[in-house]
Amino acid sequence: MTDQGIKSRPRYQPLEIDPAGRHHLLVVPSEDVPSDAVAEGFAPSAFEVWTVVRKSALPPSAITEEAAGTVRAFRSPAHLFSALEERLARETMGLRLYAVGPEDFLWDVYGVGEKAGLSPQEMRFTHSGTKARRIFCVHCRAVTEKVTTSIVTCSGCGASLFVRDHFSRRLSAFMGVQVDAEAPGDVPAAEELYA
Amino acid sequence: MTAAPTLSVRIREIEPLGASLKRFALEPAHGGELPTPAPGAHILLTLRDGGRVMKNAYSLVSPAAARDRYEIIVRRVAQSRGGSAFLHQQAREGDVIDIGYPVNLFPLQAKARKHLLIGGGIGITPLLSHLHLLKARGLKFEMHQLCAPEEAGVFEALLAPYGEAGEILVHGTGRARFDLAGILARQPLGTHVYTCGPRTLMEAVATTASALGWPAGKIHKESFGENSGGLPFKAMLARSGIEVEVGETQSLLEAVEAAGIDAPCLCRGGACGECKVSVLEGEVEHRDDFLSAEEKASQGAIMLCVSRARGARLVLDL
């Protein structure tokens, strides 16, 4: 059940710089870059790093400084995303965008990058932290966050959803499909799979 | 082999644009409408001069929506291998010729946030069809056209319908005064660059863009071949069992066609890969944009339309 053999499931590599880039922006949803997610020889000083501290009182950071080696902290992921949209809108060709974090964060970053015109060749993602999934209900289109089990009750329509490996980069979510559509009420026990 | 059948068209109008440039308007010879070409597409003309058959590819410059005619612009080249000289000197309004269906190896990219067009000389032609669409859809673009000083007026007139000042610039002052790196460095994220012109210009665009961090997927080239000829050589066609002589100003593909072999081809500019043929013996001087560096090094295949022998003889699986 942990590998359903579905090809849309993204695969990730340890974080490594793309030497073809001219400027490198790394975003993480945590206070530090997770050390277990980086490739050998990773040098944080080559990146401009944006972090999320999840505190309302932010330590002072030089927001005008946009150079390799600088770190800028944000109070929440939403705060980071709005700044990222604004930043990418005035960036020039040559930028590489990197993200390290849980899967929903990575593909939210992808969505912001794609909207700004970045191609997959200009973005690199590394999974780190929780394996909890964001589930998109294919029946009512509601999104259920932080799902760790094989079966989940949809937050929108209440259906018992089977959590598939089928991943949508556009929606940044895994698909959930009603598990008892054929035999109503026949719902298997939920297993804890995505902690 | 180009599977598509040919279309019969009549030369409706021949309009001189400059000392060596003429615009040809082609209409369906038997009425009806022509197929809708995608912006950036080219057609292959089959020209017959007595017993001699010449095939030349030209980009369409007319709007994709105009199906009553196709327009091409032809430069008379000094060392013409026949096609452009024939069109300039012998083709007349009312003549009927065969063309292939339009083929597009140089499409506009739907996901681009901005389109940067860089043309050199007659390389303007596919970019003109891009401009029709970019202007019609109100998409963001910037165009730079490089040319000889005496031709700046001609190109300015061709480009005049498509832009306000600033969006389109004609550089008649030569490459040295053209700040390619500066232009590429200041483009916003999501820009795609399209270039057509002399090989040296297209290579400069590609290498400068790469050095500035542009990904390969956002750099687009339309090559119409390095048909500058070279030393004569012999090509042994193993399957047909004949040997052809390739002259100094002739391409291998033309020599093969002259010998009556119906060789596969599409763009005749080393871009599409259609004319790839296995090499059994001999060393190839690769001039195409299709084979990878590894494939070129392995010497296993040749693009008939642009590449030649490095030595005196090649043996081909044809």
Which among B189, B213, B214 has CB closest to A117? B189
A92: chain B residues, CB-CB within 8 Å: 185-189
Residue scoring higher pLDDT (A178 or B173): A178
Give SS3 for A99.
Answer: strand
Q: How many angstroms separate the CA atoms of B146 and A149, rounded? A: 61
B218: chain A residues, CB-CB within 8 Å: 93, 119
Which among B114, B189, B191 has CB closest to A88? B189
- Where residue B165 falls among pLDDT bands split at 50, 70, 90? low
Q: How many angstroms separate the CA atoms of A1 and A99, rounded? A: 28
Judge: A92–B112 Cβ closer than 8 Å, yes or no.
no
Average pLDDT over residues B103-128: 95
B274-300 per-position pLDDT tens digit: 899 999 999 999 988 889 989 999 999
B189: chain A residues, CB-CB within 8 Å: 88, 91-93, 95, 116-118
What is the pLDDT of chain B when averaged over all its residues?
90
Task: List the 149-188 stretch of B: residues with Cβ below 8 A of A.
Answer: 184-188
Residue A1 has pLDDT above 50, yes or no: no
The pLDDT value given to residue B235: 92
Residue B184 has pLDDT above 60, yes or no: yes
Residue A193 has pLDDT above 50, yes or no: yes
Q: What is the ipTM of this complex?
A: 0.88
Judge: B185–A116 Cβ closer than 8 Å, yes or no.
no
A88: chain B residues, CB-CB within 8 Å: 189
Q: How many angstroms separate the Cα of B167 from the Cα of each of A108, B107, B189?
A: 34, 20, 18
Residue B1 has pLDDT above 60, yes or no: no
What pTM was estimated for this model as a whole?
A: 0.87
The pLDDT value given to residue B269: 80
Judge: A117–B209 Cβ closer than 8 Å, yes or no.
no
Q: Supply B308's token pair.
A: 């030649």
Judge: A121–B186 Cβ closer than 8 Å, yes or no.
no
Q: How many angstroms separate the CA atoms of A75 and A52, rounded? A: 6
Q: How far is B134 from chain A (nearest CA, A)?
A: 17
Residue scoring higher pLDDT (B312 or A64): B312
Least confident range from B186-200, B226-240, B301-315: namely B226-240
A118: chain B residues, CB-CB within 8 Å: 189-190
Residue B86 has pLDDT above 80, yes or no: yes
Least confident range from A28-42, A94-108, B144-158, B159-173: namely B159-173
CB under 8 Å, gap of 24 or more: what pairs does A82-87 form?
Answer: A83/A50, A84/A27, A84/A50, A84/A109, A84/A112, A85/A112, A85/A115, A85/A116, A87/A25
